């Protein structure tokens, strides 16, 4: 993640805390994160807000270790060890990138069902940045 | 019209550390009666845990009906800045509701509960949400640290589909310096190690709030099926309960410090949730909190029906992964 200023971060809080996306009124496509123009039909500017379920499936993932962690995540890597960043296909359609939590790199599988949880992401200028990560849905952990 | 608890939610982080891990490192474990305690992960704090518990408590309700939010913690991530705003945004609550934040002692959980109940009572309608979340911390060499755990609980209050009716509350406050305090500009809890002094204060304040409530309701300790008292460790609650005229079996269902440690301002409310999950209609529950410095709230509830969605507390208690002391130090960012 590149540097995100506090005002920009503030503007995106509904999507970061509440998974609020935009449904295109023309083609029905759900845009998440929200876009100015619909990513699917590339025409419409007419949207309605929709709260996503936070449920999805892992499309792909990668494991980040010491040398690869961006500066804002270096403290996390130091104390918590390697962590997983995944591409997640949300049930409503969008494919997004996020960290996984509450699971070890060895437990992650492509196709695994996950759900979003709001966690601390990192801290910058004394300001805590909260946002969603994904954790395995219980049924996958049990077998 | 009956005012009371409509639903509850709990959040317990999955990591646990056992007392034996402390004994291996320090040669002893000072939190008496605590077998293991819950430990927050690096990306969990009182806000994220509080939100997790609140999501359970508000499941299935129309969020527009929630008219008041009361938040309690002794370990807020900021000492100045609104905190309930995080919950409003994360849960998607109405931005025009009244919020109150209770942050000064481990009594804050019941303080938030009484505040929320009072506000709802004055409105005569709607729902209220109480969120108590805590993760007390101090220096690793401090005896208090051995007991400190992390957890969150939320209670949804209202007038319809009540599972436990609110019967009354009372408070006792007295000035007691030098017992469990956080100096200005510090995030670490301190105390002067005066155990007898602290227990005497505990008894005076708890007895002070209990006596007034029991007199008001015309009840005796034996009229209650469940007695929940603030739990700084696993042993003192029993000692206090016996002195106050309660029996061991009244305490059993709500005794969680042996499994979670001292979860600060969340203590009485997470125990209340556990009891609600097991109690039968007509059973009576007495809650008494304690905060250093010092004060105590006593609250009385009568169970009216069993909760619809049971098992939330037991599943949070059972979902656990043990860590060793070195991992614990890393999670606490104690190695610098």
Q: How far apart are the first and last CA of chain A?
A: 33
**For residue A122, pLDDT beyond 60:** yes
Residue from the list A76, A80, A130 with its beta carbon closest to the beta carbon of B48: A130
Residue A78: predicted pLDDT: 82
Q: Which residues of A fall within a CB distance of 8 Å from B48?
A: 117-120, 130
The percent of residues above 70 in pLDDT, for chain A, comes to 95
Share of chain A above pLDDT 90, in %: 78
User: Closest Cα partner for B86 from A129, A30, A99?
Assistant: A129
Q: Between A51, A80, A130, which is nearest B42 by CB?
A: A80
Whether A17 and B89 lie within 8 Å, measured CB to CB: yes
What structural domains and CATH numbers belong to chain A?
Answer: 54-141 (2.40.50)
pLDDT at A74: 81
How many other C-beta atoms can be found within 10 angstroms of the C-beta atom of residue B284?
19
Confidence of residue A142 (pLDDT cuts 50, 70, 90): very low
Q: Do B43 and A133 touch (CB under 8 A)?
A: yes
Question: How much is the average pLDDT of A59-88?
Answer: 88
| Binding-site residues on chain A for chain B (CB distance < 8 A) | 13-14, 17-18, 51, 76, 79-80, 101-102, 117-121, 128, 130, 133
For residue A133, the model assigns a pLDDT of 97
CB within 8 Å: B330 and A14: no
pLDDT at B86 (0 to 100):
98
ipTM above 0.90, yes or no: yes
pLDDT of residue A111: 97
The 10s digit of each residue's pLDDT in A6-65 is 999 999 999 999 999 999 999 999 999 999 999 999 999 999 999 999 999 999 999 998
* Bond into B291 cis (ω within 30): no
Enumerate the residues of chain A whose CB falls inside 8 A of the CB of residue B44.
119-120
At residue A70 the predicted structure's pLDDT band, cuts being 50, 70 and 90, is confident
Residues of chain B with pLDDT under 50: none
> How do the domains of chain B map onto residue ranges?
1-336
- What is the DSSP code string of B144-212? GGGGB--EEEEEEEESSS-SEEEEEEEEEE---TTSSB--TT--S-B----HHHHHHHHHHHHHHHHHH
Average of per-residue pLDDT values in chain A:
91
pTM: 0.96
Among chain B, residues having any CB pair with chain A shorter than 8 Å are 14, 41-45, 47-48, 51-52, 77-78, 86, 89-92, 330-331, 333
> Which pLDDT does position A2 carry in this prediction?
62
Are the C-beta atoms of residues B23 and B294 closer than 8 Å to each other? no
pLDDT band with cut points at 50, 70 and 90 for residue A139: low
Give residue A3's pLDDT band: very low, low, confident or very high (50, 70, 90): confident
Q: What is the pLDDT of residues B306-320, one digit of tens each?
A: 998 889 999 999 999
Angstrom distances, CA of residue B41 to CA of A117, B246, B267, B330: 13, 37, 19, 10
How far from B196 is each of A75, B41, B186, B211, B257, CA to CA, in Å?
Answer: 41, 34, 25, 22, 20
Residue A99 pairs in a beta bridge with A85
Q: How far is B312 from chain A (nearest CA, A)?
A: 14
Q: Which CATH architecture has domain B1-336?
A: 3-Layer(aba) Sandwich (3.40)
Residue A143 has what pLDDT?
37
């Amino acid at each position: 993640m590149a540097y995100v200023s506090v005002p920009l971060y503030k503007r995106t809080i509904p999507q970061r805390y509440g998974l609020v996306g935009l449904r295109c009124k023309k083609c029905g496509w759900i845009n998440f994160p929200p876009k100015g123009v619909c990513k699917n039909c590339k025409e419409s500017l007419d949207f309605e807000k929709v709260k996503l379920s936070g449920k999805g499936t892992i499309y792909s993932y990668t494991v980040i270790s010491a040398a690869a962690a961006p500066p804002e995540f270096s403290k996390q890597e130091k104390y918590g060890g390697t962590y997983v960043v995944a591409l997640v296909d949300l049930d409503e359609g969008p494919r997004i990138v996020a960290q996984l939590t509450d699971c070890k790199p060895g437990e992650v599988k492509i196709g695994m069902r996950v759900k979003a949880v709001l966690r601390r992401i990192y801290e910058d200028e004394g300001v805590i940045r909260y946002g969603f990560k994904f954790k395995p849905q219980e049924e996958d952990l049990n077998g | 019209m009956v005012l009371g608890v409509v639903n509850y939610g709990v959040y317990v982080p999955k990591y646990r550390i056992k007392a034996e891990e402390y004994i291996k490192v320090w040669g002893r474990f000072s939190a008496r009666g605590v077998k293991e305690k819950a430990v927050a992960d690096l990306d969990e704090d009182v806000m994220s845990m509080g939100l997790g518990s609140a999501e359970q408590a508000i499941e299935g309700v129309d969020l527009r009906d929630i008219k008041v939010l009361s938040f309690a913690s002794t370990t807020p991530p900021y000492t100045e800045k609104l905190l309930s705003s995080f919950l409003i945004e994360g849960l998607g609550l109405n931005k025009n509701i009244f919020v109150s934040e209770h942050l000064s002692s481990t009594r804050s959980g019941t303080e938030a509960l009484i505040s929320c109940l009072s506000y709802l009572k004055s409105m005569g309608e709607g729902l209220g949400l109480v969120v108590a979340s805590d993760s007390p911390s101090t220096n690793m060499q401090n005896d208090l640290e051995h007991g400190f755990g992390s957890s969150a609980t939320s209670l949804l209050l209202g007038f319809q589909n009540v599972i436990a009716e609110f019967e009354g509350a009372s408070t006792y406050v007295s000035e007691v310096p030098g017992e469990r305090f956080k100096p200005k500009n510090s995030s670490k809890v301190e105390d002067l190690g005066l155990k007898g002094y602290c227990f005497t204060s505990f008894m005076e304040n708890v007895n002070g709030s209990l006596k007034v409530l029991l007199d008001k309701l015309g009840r005796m300790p034996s009229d209650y099926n469940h007695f929940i008292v603030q739990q700084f460790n696993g042993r003192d609650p029993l000692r206090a309960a016996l002195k106050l005229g309660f029996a061991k079996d009244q305490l059993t269902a709500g005794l969680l410090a042996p499994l979670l440690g001292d979860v600060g301002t969340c203590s009485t409310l997470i125990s209340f949730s556990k009891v609600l999950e097991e109690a039968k209609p007509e059973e009576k529950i007495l809650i008494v909190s304690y905060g250093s410095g010092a004060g105590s709230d006593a609250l009385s509830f009568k169970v009216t029906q069993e909760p619809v969605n049971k098992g939330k507390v037991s599943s949070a208690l059972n979902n656990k992964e043990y860590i060793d002391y070195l991992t614990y130090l890393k999670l606490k960012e104690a190695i610098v």
